[in-house]
Amino acid sequence: MKKRFKLFFFGFGQVAKYFVNKLIQEKYNFDLATTNTKKTENKIFNKINFKSYYFFNNKFDPNLLNELNNSNKILISIPPREGHDIVLKTFHEAFKESKFDWITYLSATSIYGNTNGEWVDENNNPNPTSSRGISRLNAEKAWLEYFKNYKIPLQIFRLAGIYSNENNVLQRLKAGTQNIVEKKNHYFSRIHVEDIAEILFASLQKFSSGEIFNISDDYPSSNVELVKYAASLINMQIPKSISVDQIQSEMLKDFYKDSKRVKNHKMKNFFGYNLKYPTFKEGLKFIKNHMI
Q: For residue range 51-63, what is the model confidence (pLDDT) as tens digits?
A: 999 999 989 999 9
pLDDT at 292: 47
CB atoms within 10 A of CB 75: 23
Of 63, 62, 80, 66, the residue nearest 11 (C-alpha): 80
Contacts of 65 (CB under 8 A, 6+ apart): 91, 94
How far apart are the C-alpha atoms of 33 and 28, rounded to whole Å?
Answer: 16
Of 163, 139, 261, the residue nearest 212 (C-alpha): 139
Residue 151's alpha-carbon distances to 8, 208, 210, in angstroms, are 19, 12, 9
How far apart are the C-alpha atoms of 225 and 284, rounded to whole Å?
Answer: 13
Of 109, 105, 107, 271, the residue nearest 190 (C-alpha): 109
State the greatest distance between any 2 C-alpha atoms of the chain, in Å, as a whole number. 57
Residue 106's alpha-carbon distances to 51, 155, 199, in angstroms, are 22, 9, 12
Contacts of 177 (CB under 8 A, 6+ apart): none
pLDDT at 186: 92
Please report how many Cα atoms fall inside a 13 Å half-sphere around the Cα of residue 9, on the Cβ side.
22
Q: What domains are there in the chain, each with its CATH number?
A: 5-166+190-219+262-277 (3.40.50.720)
Residues of the chain predicted below pLDDT 50:
1, 292
CB 217 within 8 A of CB 192: yes
pLDDT at 99: 87
CB 104 within 8 A of CB 203: yes
pLDDT at 244: 82
Amino acid at 191: I
CB 10 within 8 A of CB 54: no
For 200-226, letters b (16+ CB in 10 Å) and e give bbbbbeebeeebbbbbbbebbbbbeeb
What pTM value is reported for the model? 0.96
